[in-house]
Structure 1
Amino acid sequence: MNTCALDGCSAAVAADAPLQLCLNHLLEAHGWVIGEIGETDVLPAPCAACGSRLGVRYPSGWLCALCEWRVGDRPDMTAAPRVDVVYYLRYGDRIKIGTSANPRRRIAALPHDEVLAFERGDRALEQARHRQFAAHRIPHTEWFEANQGLADLVAAVSRGVTDPWSLYSLWVSEAIALRA
């Protein structure tokens, strides 16, 4: 049986141990690593800034793994950061391309069947998208006839995103974290 590689320690080393260290010294090393790089785990409560449930635990406390907000701190939501998005809404067989810094309020005021996607961008990107799909535009509106090119763009913008609102929340939480 092997013994611990540290001088003065004659404790046995488990056969499957990743290092030639006894259990006590492995646990001591593990504690040191957690103190240096943290340990990812489920937060005790959702992050107050972004709502994520995943955090990193340090001896000094928790940080949200998504936006790095310190758990326990109250985010200053009185001055939420501006995050401009281009949104894509479906209503029947039409798609609206619009922009807003407050998509919840804007979209709530519009008739729609489904929020298809969000794309980070402002009025310049919105206008570029309007020009891109001008052949399908319903005159004097921001609504477009459904077409393959627009469907392909929406699919590309939303690839890997199951809920556009969660993506928007991520962008807002990143902006909050960068401001802090």
Structure 2
Amino acid sequence: MCDRHLLEAYDWVVQDVGRSDLLPSPCLACGARLGVRYPSGWLCGICEWRVGDIPDDGVSVLRVDVVYYLRYKDRIKIGTSGNPRLRIAGLPHDEVLAFERGNRLLERRRHVQFAGHRIPHTEWFEPNDELAAHVSGLRAGAEDPWAQYALWRSQELALRG
């Protein structure tokens, strides 16, 4: 691809997946500066609060950061979110394979760990035995990833008293 067409393809993809950048101001919900810019506006890259929305008084955002593993056709996506229901709802997928407690640092480690099977410049990976074993280990004892996520949210809420 020539540079012009490559940039056009990049701009087209960014419309769906967003572009990481610094927020114009700290997130009102969690104070983070990392954001994701979409054509429709900004989301906090940590808690996914929409920039410009005002948190209700006294409302504290309950967040449990997870690394998620999705299957779509013959590919697996490794991503992260503090609000996986909202995030995953906007992604093409056939199945939520597993969750792992962790943030962007853990996500990056997983991308490096499975880099030999990564589809270049994406968070999608070709299926492979090493990744399948990892997902299987995460699912051990948890048939439904959403039930596991609900447990983690419940535990986080209990810790807050």
Q: Distance in 1 between matches of 2:59 and 2:143?
A: 29
1:158 and 2:142 equivalent?
no
Aligned residue number for residue 85 of structure 2: 104
Larger radius of gyration: 1
When normalised by structure 2's length, the TM-score is: 0.63
For the residues of structure 2 that align with 1:122 and 1:158, how far apart are their CA atoms?
Answer: 18
Q: CA RMSD in A?
A: 1.2
**Cross-structure match for 1:123:** 104
Q: Which runs of 5+ in 2 are unaligned?
A: 1-57
1: CA distance between counterparts of 2:123 and 2:63?
22
Q: TM-score, normalised by structure 1?
A: 0.56
Over 4 Å off, 4+ runs: none
1:80-138: CA deviations, max 9, x gaps? 42210000000011000000000000000000000000000011110000000101000
In structure 1, stretches of 5+ residues that fail to align are: 1-76
CA contact (8 A) 1:80 1:176 kept: no
Q: Is residue 90–residue 116 contact of structure 1 (8 Å, CA) maintained in 2?
A: yes
Are 1:168 and 2:149 counterparts?
yes
The match for 1:146 among 127, 138, 143 is 127
Superposed, which structure 2 residues align to 1:1-180 within 5 Å? 78-180=59-161
- Equivalent-residue separation in structure 2 for 1:173 and 1:79 (angstroms): 15
Q: Aligned partners of 2:78 and 2:71: how far apart in 1?
A: 9
Q: How many residues align?
A: 104
Amino acid in structure 1 at the alignment position of 2:86: R
Amino acid at match of 1:126: E
Q: Output the amino acid matched with 1:138.
A: I
Aligned 8 A contact 1:93 1:146 in 2: yes
CA contact (8 A) 1:91 1:113 kept: yes
